[in-house]
């Protein structure tokens, strides 16, 4: 499994997620979440 770390950004709503050992399809998974297709 991938390891995640979450950091706060400049504004309270801004978040930065770092993924170690990400799966090869992570970009597609994140895009699906943003598009509401998952």
pLDDT at position 2, please? Answer: 79
**Residue written as tokens 């598009």?**
35
Question: What are the tens digits of pLDDT across the range 1-38?
Answer: 779 898 888 888 888 888 999 999 999 998 999 998 86
Angstrom distance (rounded) from CA 22 to CA 20: 5
pLDDT at position 26, please? Answer: 92
Which DSSP category does 7 fall into? E
Which DSSP category does 14 fall into? -
pLDDT at position 38, please? Answer: 67
Angstrom distance (rounded) from CA 19 to CA 27: 11
pLDDT at position 35, please? Answer: 92
- Phi, psi at 12, each rounded to 5°: -60, -25
Indicate yes or no: pTM above 0.75.
no
Do 24 and 31 form a contact (C-beta atoms < 8 A)?
Answer: no
pLDDT at position 10, please? Answer: 84
pLDDT at position 32, please? Answer: 94
Instruction: Give the start-to-end residue ranges of the domains of the chain.
Output: 3-32
Which DSSP category does 23 fall into? -
């Amino acid at each position: 499994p991938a390891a995640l770390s979450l950091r706060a950004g400049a504004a309270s709503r801004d978040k930065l997620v770092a993924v170690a050992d990400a799966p090869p399809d992570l970009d597609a998974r994140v895009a699906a979440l943003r598009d509401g297709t998952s």
